[in-house]
Structure 1
Amino acid sequence: MATFSNTQTSRLSAVNSFDTMMGAYNYNYMRKFGDQSRQTSQPGASTRTASAGQKAQVQDAKVVKKTEHGSKKADRRGRPRKISDELLQKMIQMIESSNGDVSWEELGQAVGVEGVHMQTIRNHMVKEGYCKRISCPQKWLTLKARETRMQYALAHQHWQNEWRSVLFSDVVNFGLGASRKARVFSRRDERLCEDCLQAREDADKSIYHCWGMVGYDYKSPLIFYSVEGSSNGVMSQQDFITRILRPHVQPVATSKRMIYLEETNSAYDHSGNGPSMVQAFMESVNLPCLLNPDSSSDLNVFKDVILILKKRLQKRYIANEIELKRAVLEEWDKITTREINKLVDSMKTRMEKVLARKGMPI
């Protein structure tokens, strides 16, 4: 058991007395000043709460003011319209009566629009649903035309070597200069209407009108002809018999026992009721004839041969009419019978595609 000396005992008693005194002092201090500190802290809390509420009210007022300012700004947002509704209606009326040979600038000037860029006029008209687009170069297939194509394909879907006995022919026009594509004004839902369709060849003035005929292992001379009073090269029925059928078609078809494929809308004038002079002539000389469906250039091999010819002409520089005729004859001579035979043998596949597409173009 530990023992302490008198000195150590005195020191412990002094420490305990000091701790007892400090504890009593802290107790009396807290009783005297503790309630006052709590009472003084409460007003400060309420002050902070009031200041926070004032700040929230100020912020709400700023938001309301900003919203009101933003709404007023939204009402007057953007520049004033450069084209009034009245002028816009005038341009629409002019477009409805126009044939498409007017530019956007001319359209604006015609109704009195000044100081406005062409693109601005175009943007306004596009918003109204009008645009200026390249006219469709071919007549759109009607339901009746599709049915005719289907009947034609059904009647010849089993032909294969029989197509090698067919003579494909048509007329073609040649002119100088880059081909200008015809443009028309139309709404989006009027793209295929009858008034918006134009023949692409009518956009350029043709210099030469030609007729030709091809078949399996056969290519006729390219026949140049002129027609007085006709700008598209359409001949009368008597001229077609005299210039084309009798000297060029009848001898070949008779000697090789070939079938002549006749186009319904190009070489000669098909107007008139009843049997035509051309049909009467073919019957008189026992010339077998196969009628190509209307609007079916994709079923005429001669059209593909002419496409080859024109693509090759585009690679040549031609300065005048004399060089044009020389170039046409040279490129026509370069087309081989091998190229023609390949196209003729594709006719069976074309009939299958017409049936698969339900008469639509292939």
Structure 2
Amino acid sequence: MKDFGVGTYMAAQKKMLSQSHIDARIIWGFDRRYWQLDAFKKFRWCDESHFATCLQRQARIHRRKGYEARNALSKTQFRLKRQNQSVHVYGVIGWNFKGQLHFYTGSGIGGRLVQADYMTILKEIVAPDWDKDCILIEDNDGPHGTKGKGPNKVKALKDLLGIKWEMNPANSPDLNPIETIWRIIKQRLKSRGVIFEEAVLRRAIQEEWDKITLDEINRAISTMPDRVAALNERNGRPIPY
């Protein structure tokens, strides 16, 4: 197979999209089809990420080299989070901005984040560095309080703190540039070899976050117009970002 440019690689992991999610992504992309980079500079993107100690098992596939081939729908793996993820972090990025990395253990089952935990993050991590002219982009996880049209305590706290926010389409990490930053950090952690101790992993994550430059963040954000174009070309289906 090597003679035909086909090798063995780990599958790219994607979330499964229902038709309703695809429809919401189509609308999101259509509304932003004429946006240029300057339109995205007013946003700050946030999300949690999860890291695991020890060796990780991922499905292996045969494909050609290249980013497009890696993200082809027939070469992606739809799966849930791994069970041994033990280090949970929260971060915020924006144009020329990198927030404080926050390690947390949620008070939910298995250390999962709940609304009370997220409210603490908003008050202690997001609000102190908040620019009133910015808009916080969140996903639709329950702790973020973005689901539903009615009021809730998380939305009320954002109003109190002066944090304007918008929700990304459901199951759309490919539309959030902070995922690019998490990917860079995880790739750099792999180069350190297998990490078995949680304390060592936490220090390594912090070190790699500190190494992330504003240029790297700005490059990730500068891909947003291309992401929108790719989303529209694929009619709302996953894009190679």
Q: Same fold per TM (> 0.5)? A: yes
Greater C-alpha Rg: 1
Partner of 1:21: none
Percent of aligned pairs with the same amino acid: 31
Spell out the pairing of 1:16-55 with structure 2 (5 A cutoff). Answer: none
1:239 Cα deviation from its structure 2 partner: 2.0
Give the whole-Å Cα distance in 2 for the aligned partners of 1:289 and 1:272.
Answer: 14
Correspondent of 1:240 among 96, 118, 123: 118
Give the whole-Å Cα distance in 2 for the aligned partners of 1:241 and 1:359.
Answer: 32
Spell out the pairing of 1:7-86 with structure 2 (5 A cutoff). Answer: none
Contact kept? 1:135, 1:197, Cα under 8 Å: no
Question: What SS class does the counterpart of residue 158 from structure 1 fall into?
Answer: coil
Correspondent of 2:152 among 270, 276, 286: 276
Are 1:198 and 2:74 counterparts? no
Structure 2 letter corresponding to 1:247: E
Give the whole-Å Cα distance in 2 for the aligned partners of 1:156 and 1:357.
Answer: 15
Contact kept? 2:177, 2:221, Cα under 8 Å: yes
Query: Which segments of 5 or more consecutive residues in structure 1 lack a partner in the other structure?
Result: 1-133, 184-191
Structure 2 letter corresponding to 1:171: E
Are 1:338 and 2:215 counterparts? yes
**TM-score relative to the length of structure 1:** 0.53
Deviations 1:56-104 (A, max 9, x none): xxxxxxxxxxxxxxxxxxxxxxxxxxxxxxxxxxxxxxxxxxxxxxxxx
Deviations 1:252-310 (A, max 9, x none): 3335x211001112755778894322122223333211210001100001111000000
Spell out the pairing of 1:152-191 with structure 2 (5 A cutoff). Answer: 152-160=28-36, 161-181=38-58
In structure 2, relative to structure 1, the CA distance for the partners of 1:282 and 1:270 (3 Å cut) is closer
Partner of 1:360: 237
Question: What SS class does the counterpart of residue 239 from structure 1 fall into?
Answer: helix
**TM-score relative to the length of structure 2:** 0.78
Give the whole-Å Cα distance in 1 for the aligned partners of 2:45 and 2:147.
Answer: 22
Contact kept? 1:234, 1:266, Cα under 8 Å: no
Partner of 1:304: 180
Greater RCO (Cα-Cα under 8 Å, separation 6 or more) = 2
Are 1:224 and 2:100 counterparts? no
Correspondent of 2:92 among 213, 216, 224: 213
Contact kept? 2:107, 2:113, Cα under 8 Å: no
**What is the root-mean-square deviation of aligned Cα atoms in Å?**
2.8
Contact kept? 1:262, 1:290, Cα under 8 Å: yes
* Greater per-residue strand proportion: 2
Question: What SS class does the counterpart of residue 41 from structure 2 fall into?
Answer: helix
Give the whole-Å Cα distance in 2 for the aligned partners of 1:274 and 1:298.
Answer: 27
In structure 2, relative to structure 1, the CA distance for the partners of 1:270 and 1:347 (3 Å cut) is closer
Give the whole-Å Cα distance in 2 for the aligned partners of 1:237 and 1:220.
Answer: 20
Partner of 2:63: none
Deviations 1:175-232 (A, max 9, x none): 211112489xxxxxxxx9xxx9531x2x33122111111111111121011124522x
Structure 1 letter corresponding to 2:26: M
Give the whole-Å Cα distance in 1 for the aligned partners of 2:181 and 2:142.
Answer: 17
In structure 2, relative to structure 1, the CA distance for the partners of 1:336 and 1:267 (3 Å cut) is farther
Correspondent of 2:191 among 306, 315, 338: 315
Query: Which segments of 5 or more consecutive residues in structure 2 lack a partner in the other structure?
Result: 1-9, 61-72
Are 1:351 and 2:228 counterparts? yes
Contact kept? 2:99, 2:129, Cα under 8 Å: no
* Greater per-residue helix proportion: 1
